[in-house]
Amino acid sequence: MEGYLKWSKILNILFYVGIAADIALLGYIIYSKDTSNMILLGMLVVFTVAFKSMSKKMKQTYYENPDAEIVDVFELKYKADQQEKKIKQEEKAQRRNKL
């Protein structure tokens, strides 16, 4: 979980770099009066906000349980699905045995 804090700091730095890039691009767009870069500016803003939200979520996850191991969500979902399939098969087998 220590990696969460490191990545959170990196994302936080990228957030501030993104703000500087947003301001620089906005200044360029205003100065040159060329609006063809507005899509690029929109994408930069989206990534900047995403960096901040990911950083915040990583910090929150770390502070909730700092000693936890990183768990693969897809692996947990796969195990839950396998258990559900096993339960359904057992129920079908019980129904067949009753008949």
**Domain range summary for the chain, segments of one domain joined by +:** 1-68, 70-99
Whether pTM > 0.85 for this model: the answer is no
- Identity of the highest mean pLDDT range in 41-45, 58-62, 70-74: 41-45
76: its two tokens:
């947990």
Minimum mean pLDDT range among 8-12, 49-53, 70-74: 70-74
48 — pLDDT class (breaks 50, 70, 90)? very high
23-40 confidence digits (pLDDT tens) = 998 899 899 988 888 888
7 — pLDDT class (breaks 50, 70, 90)? confident
For the chain, give the percent of residues with pLDDT over 70: 89
| CA distances from residue 4 to 25, 33, 40 in whole angstroms, order as listed | 31, 42, 29
Q: Rg for the chain (alpha carbons), in Å?
A: 24
Check pLDDT > 70 for residue 72.
no
